[in-house]
Amino acid sequence: MEILNYLPRDLLQDKSVFITGGGSGINLGIARNFAALGANVGICGRTSKKLEIARAELEALGARVSTSVADVRDYDEIAKALQECEKTLGAIDCLVCGAAGNFLAPAENMSPIGFKTVIEIDLIGSFNTARAAFDQLKETRGSIIFISAGQTFGPYFAQSHVGAAKAGIDNLMRCLAMEWGSHGIRCNSIVPGPIAGTEGMKRLAAGGYERKWIEAIPLGRFGTVNDIGQMAVFLASPLASYVTGAHIVVDGGQNLPGSGVFGQLISESLGYQ
């Protein structure tokens, strides 16, 4: 997918970013956008094959790349991956906590291990990663971007585990923005809407409901991984040097109160659809 060219190509020259879950989906889209603006990129994930395919793509964009197999649930593994990245690319200027897990399960059927698994990947994994990256970010006065989700704002059916995890991430983000601001470390969250072609959408929008999903999005389309990648490079860049503790919603309006089913019923009753 073509990366848009609105920002100077050397905006992030000689900067390094480390992205958890960077081998695919939104996180790989973020990695591409950093690479296209001159940054070097560290990625980690659980599958070495995915990481190596991503490496080739990022190197083709001109980045130096560090890959590490690590599960964010394991503090020692993620700390080692960050050390390996530092050896290859130097102390990181930006951390993206993007690794996540999801499946649809109404609470009455969900196993306690299923609930715990998502909390461990999303919330505890984000803390582990931020904690392990603290010394590097303190050195560079860098920034952290947490990948949240619309479930942070309110209840979604069959998503109690993800809602609890993402709301936790956003509170963690604000705590760290407050505590680590004195070191020059900025912390923000991106709240992506439904992003086309991702594992998350395969899991959530299965069953032929694509058209209905799109009808519930005020901008009338799914997002792209570049929509999220562009916001991430903005947040990491000097353009956002006074932005911290913010939730930046990049969702085509999907989470606006009154969009979705209620908005459709009203607009239909007024003859607009």
Active site residues: 148, 166
DSSP the chain: -PPP--S-TTTTTT-EEEEETTTSHHHHHHHHHHHHTT-EEEEEES-HHHHHHHHHHHHHTT--EEEEE--TT-HHHHHHHHHHHHHHH-S-SEEEE---------GGG--HHHHHHHIIIIIIHHHHHHHHHHHHHHHHT-EEEEE--GGGTS--TT-HHHHHHHHHHHHHHHHHHHHHGGGT-EEEEEEE--BTT-HHHHHHSTTT-HHHHHHTSTTSS-B-HHHHHHHHHHHHSGGGTT--S-EEEESTTTTSTT-THHHHHHHHHTT--
| Distance (Å, whole) CA 160 – CA 114 | 11
Residue 199 interacts with ligand COA (CB under 6 A): yes or no: yes
Judged by CB under 6 A, which of 200, 223, 229, 260 binds ligand COA? 200
Shortest Å distance, C-beta 188 to ligand COA: 19
- Contact between 205 and ligand COA by CB under 6 A: the answer reads no
Binding letters toward ligand COA, positions 8-47, x by CB under 6 A: ----------------------------------------
Question: Least distance (Å) from ligand COA to the CB of residue 184?
Answer: 31
Minimum CB separation from ligand COA for residue 121, in Å? 6
- Decide: is 117 part of the binding site for ligand COA (CB under 6 A): yes
CB of 186 to ligand COA, least distance (A): 24
Report in angstroms how near the CB of residue 222 gets to ligand COA at its nearest: 14
Give me the torsion for CA of 131, 137, 141, 147, rounded to 10°. -70
* 16, 66, 68, 102: which one binds ligand COA (CB under 6 A): 102
Name which of 142 and 163 has its Cβ closer to ligand COA: 163
Near ligand COA by CB under 6 A: residue from 106, 114, 154, 258: 114
Name the one range near ligand COA by CB under 6 A: 35-43, 104-112, 209-217, 255-263: 104-112
Listed ranges 78-86, 112-120, 126-134, 245-253: which one lies at the site for ligand COA (CB under 6 A): 112-120
| Binding interface with ligand COA (CB under 6 A) | 100-103, 105, 110-111, 113-114, 117-118, 121, 199-200, 203
